[in-house]
C-alpha cells in the first residue's frame, strides 16, 4: 500500500529560478512543473479513493480464494478420478500413478479402484484404503504400500518385487500367482489370504500374521514361523 502524504506547496517560479543555473534552466523548469503537479495530485481525493479500492479488491480476492478452496479440491479430485477411470483396462500408467497418489494424499478412499494391468511401478500409496481393489496383473515393483488396506483385493498375477507391504492389511486378499520376490511383508496381516502359486522368494515376513493362509506352498507355515511370523486371531469381519 502506498503511503500518501500532503506535499508542501512549492515555491513560485520567480523564487525557484533564483538559485538555478541559466544553462540548466529548462531542466529546472521541468522539475518545478512536476513538483506542482505532484502537489495538486497529493490533494486529489479521487486518488486516495482509488488506492483504497485497490487494497479492497485484493482483500476480496483473498476471501474468495479461501471460500472456494473446497470447490477447487473437489474439481481436482474429479479430474484425478477421470484419469483413473478412463485408463481402466489399458496398459501403461496413463497418469494413474500421479492421480492415485494425489487422491491418497488428500485422504480420499480408493475402495474398489480398478487398476488391473496398470503400470504402477514405484507408486507411493502409504496407508491407502484399497479395500476390494482390483490390481490383477498390475506392475507394482518398488511400490510403497506400507500400512495400506488391501483386504479382499484382487492381486492375482501382480508384480510386487521389492515392494513395501509392511503392516499392510491383506486379509482375504487373492495373491495367487503374485510375484513377491524381495517384498517386505513385515508386520502384514495375511489371514485367509490366498497364496496359491505365489513366488515368495526372499520375502521378509517377520511379525506377519499368517493365520489361516490358504493354498500356501508346502511347509510355508513352518518356514514363516522360523522367521518370526505369527499366528493371531483375525480382526472382526468388516
**pLDDT tens across 54-111, in order?**
777 777 777 765 666 667 788 889 899 999 998 887 777 779 999 999 999 999 999 9
Domain boundaries of the chain, sorted by first residue: 25-67, 71-238
Rg (CA), the chain: 35
199 forms beta bridges with: 179
Taking the whole predicted model, whether its pTM rises above 0.75 is answered as no
- Residue 144 vs residues 25, 101, 121, 128, 189: alpha-carbon distances, Å: 77, 11, 9, 10, 16
* pLDDT band of 43, cuts 50, 70, 90: low
- Residue 122: phi, psi to the nearest 5? 80, 10
- Split at pLDDT 50, 70, 90, the class of 16 is low
Q: How many DSSP H helices and E strands does the chain contain?
A: 6, 0
Q: How far is CA 177 from the centre of its chain?
A: 32
In the CATH hierarchy, which top-level class contains the domain 71-238? mainly beta
pLDDT (tens digit per residue) in 97-151 = 999 999 999 999 999 999 999 999 999 999 999 999 999 999 999 999 999 999 9
Cα gap 127→144, rounded to integer Å: 9
* Tens-place pLDDT, residues 183-230: 999 999 999 999 999 999 999 999 999 999 999 999 999 999 999 999
Give the sign of the dihedral formed by CA 233, CA 110, CA 152, CA 94.
negative
Question: Which DSSP state fits 17?
Answer: G
Amino acid at each position: 500500500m502506498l503511503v500518501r502524504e500532503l506535499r508542501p506547496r512549492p515555491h513560485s517560479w520567480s523564487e525557484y529560478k533564483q538559485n538555478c543555473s541559466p544553462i540548466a534552466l529548462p531542466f529546472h523548469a521541468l522539475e518545478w512543473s512536476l513538483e506542482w503537479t505532484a502537489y495538486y495530485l497529493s490533494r486529489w481525493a479521487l486518488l486516495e479513493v482509488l488506492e483504497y479500492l485497490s487494497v479492497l479488491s485484493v482483500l476480496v480476492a483473498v476471501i474468495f480464494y479461501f471460500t472456494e478452496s473446497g470447490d477447487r479440491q473437489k474439481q481436482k479430485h474429479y479430474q484425478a478420478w477421470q484419469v483413473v477411470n478412463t485408463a481402466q483396462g489399458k496398459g501403461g500408467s496413463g497418469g494413474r500413478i500421479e492421480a492415485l497418489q494425489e487422491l491418497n494424499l488428500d485422504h480420499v478412499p480408493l475402495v474398489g479402484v480398478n487398476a488391473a494391468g496398470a503400470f504402477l511401478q514405484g507408486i507411493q500409496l502409504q496407508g491407502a484404503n484399497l479395500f476390494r481393489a482390483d490390481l490383477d496383473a498390475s506392475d507394482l515393483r518398488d511400490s510403497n504400500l506400507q500400512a495400506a488396506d488391501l483386504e479382499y483385493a484382487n492381486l492375482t498375477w501382480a508384480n510386487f518385487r521389492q515392494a513395501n507391504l509392511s503392516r499392510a492389511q491383506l486379509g482375504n486378499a487373492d495373491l495367487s500367482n503374485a510375484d513377491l520376490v524381495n517384498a517386505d511383508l513385515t508386520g502384514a496381516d495375511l489371514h485367509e489370504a490366498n497364496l496359491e502359486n505365489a513366488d515368495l522368494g526372499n520375502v521378509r515376513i517377520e511379525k506377519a500374521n499368517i493365520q489361516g493362509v490358504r493354498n500356501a506352498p508346502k511347509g510355508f507355515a513352518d518356514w514363516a514361523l522360523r522367521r518370526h511370523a505369527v499366528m493371531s486371531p483375525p480382526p472382526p469381519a468388516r
